[in-house]
Amino acid sequence: MSKDVLWWQSGVIYQVYPRSFQDSNGDGVGDLKGITSRLDYLQWLGIKAVWVSPIYPSPMADFGYDISDYGDIHPLFGTMQDFEELLEGIHRRNMKLILDLVPNHTSDKHPWFLESRSSRDNPKRDWYIWKDRKPDGSLPNNWLAAFGGSAWEWDEATQQYYYHAFLKEQPDLNWRNKDVQTAMFAMMRFWLDKGVDGFRIDVMWHMIKDALFRDNPVNPEYQPHMATYDQLLPIYSSDQPEVHTIVREMRELLDEYPERMMIGEIYLPIHKLVVYYGTDNKGAHLPFNFMLLTLAWDPKRIAAAINEYEASLPRGGWPNWVLGNHDQPRVVSRIGASQARVAAMLLLTLRGTPTIYYGDELGMRDVAIPPDKMMDPQGLNMPDKNLSRDPARTPMQWDNSEYSGFSLVSPWLPVDRTADRVNVRVQHSDPSSMLILYRRLIHFREQNPVFITGSYIPVFADHQVIAYLRREEGHPEFLVVLNLSHRPCYFRMAGRSLYGTIVLSTTPALEQTTIRDTLTLSGDEGVIITLQS
């Protein structure tokens, strides 16, 4: 592999939701010591970078995405010493640590906001977005909050509204204010100086708002089952041109440190997403590509989207792919357990950096959460829309003990009823398990550089199959064929004979089979074939 390929290009990223990964102190909530205790597992799996969701002090209105201190650790998760031990343990295993950074908003309990709210003439008043009511007494504009209702909250003491893109407990910072930029960049330096290897920037595309605060237009495609936020098209409350200046300045700061990187959380169409790579690729290293999270599981659509993405990438822009995260239903619950195996092969054979959400390597599913145990504000604020994110945030399933090895006490969210069968201990010794499939795919990718630095060449897609080549001069040529349906299918190469050996399959019994002319696959099967001339 070329020495010019950096760790965030060659390695697999693994997202840890810290509340749900491992409880080390018996309070039912995961913590830093718990993550440290499971690093050998991540190393065995083949993970090269661990992305940890927020661990900062927070009132937990949005479970850590409402930060009250960017420079410390929430006692729920441990201490700064615990963090430093985690960082050291990750680096000792030749892995990297990516921290979640939430620069768009703070907690309403953050000292900055408490000052800002104290009076209209406080020096930090302009650190947040404050607006008068309109002359008729109405809201400053029609912008909506992602978690329901208006995005404007009235402050009786100072007789103005403040803006919050999410909960009212999460006031948005005013990133047009240079002092805000200076303060946030200082926080980034604090963690970089400690040795963290990068940041995942939360809601990057929200950080700058329209200077004129114009009303958002009505969404003509809104449907009643959608979140209330989707009633409007957020063309003025997000994705403003000036945000790219901020992203570039973040990148310049990161570039002062060797081999640090930045991921951007950006839910935008591809033609807008790729702009976040920045001019001359001096923006986000990896603007998150959520296609596989949001597209219908249809081979023609997926193949077309991959082609569009590949064609849209700027010169030198590095692709990336995501199957799951803490905000979306798990892949097994979206497409079924059988197809999730095929999805794993897709994720780990496409060109670019893959990100795995904890537990997806086991085939964990969304867990039914009783209404009285629901925690997520998105679900609680829109109870009739079934939008809670809790089902995808349940405890990691380590073994078949009472609480699945996550904790010795009842955890903060329920463990799945299938955890006695879907867990690390059971799957570790089963060569046909989802866990072993993920591990084999990760190690196969690492051992065959063509899957990291080789080109992606589309071959075929119909109502059942997607097929593509991974090719690089001086290496074997691989054909990937995935059956995205439940029915058998047959595949032939157009314009050339198909001759090769299946080297890895979602069905291990197929491996080492020689293929001549026609490949026959059962439903829910995928194969990697080494082609021979």
In a domain, 425, yes or no: yes
Q: Of 378, 409, 443, which one is at a domain's C-terminal end?
A: 443
End position of a domain, from candidates 443, 476, 492: 443
Structural domains of the chain, count: 2
Residue 181: per-residue pLDDT: 98
Whether residue 464 is found in the same domain as residue 439: no
pLDDT value at residue 127: 99
Q: Identify any residues that bridge with 355 across adjacent strands, giving them in sequence order.
A: 13, 322
For tokens 């809201």, what's the residue? 139
- pTM greater than 0.95 (yes/no): yes
Range of the domain at 501: 454-531
Q: Are both 283 and 401 inside the same structural domain?
A: yes
User: Which residues of the chain are modeled with pLDDT < 70?
Assistant: 1-3
Sign for the CA dihedral angle at 331, 337, 343, 344 comes to positive
Structural domain includes residue 289: yes
Q: What is the pLDDT of residue 522?
A: 98
Q: Does 350 fall in a domain?
A: yes
**Strands of the sheet with 160-163, listed across from one edge:** 130-131, 160-163, 152-155
Q: Are residues 316 and 392 in the same domain?
A: yes
Q: Give a yes or no: residue 406 inside a domain.
A: yes
DSSP state of 18: G
Q: Residue 1's pLDDT is what?
A: 56
Domain endpoint, select from 422, 443, 464: 443
Strand-pair category, 286-287 with 261-264:
parallel
Distance from C-alpha of 10 to C-alpha of 446, rounded to nearest angstrom? 8
Is residue 186 domain-shared with residue 98, that is, in the same domain?
Answer: yes
- Pair 11, 445: CB distance under 8 Å: no
- Cβ atoms of 400 and 425 closer than 8 Å: yes
> Which residues carry out catalysis?
202, 256
Q: The CATH number of the domain where 284 resides is what?
A: 3.20.20.80
The burial class, CB within 10 Å (0-12 / 13-18 / 19+), for 21 is buried
Q: What does the pLDDT read at residue 2?
A: 57
Domain membership of residue 143 (yes or no) is no
CA distance 43 to 92: 11
pLDDT digits (tens, 9 = 90+) for 97-156: 999 999 999 999 999 999 999 999 999 999 999 999 999 999 999 999 999 999 999 999
Please check whether residue 158 lies inside any domain of the structure.
no
Q: Can you read off the two tokens belonging to residue 315?
A: 């010169």
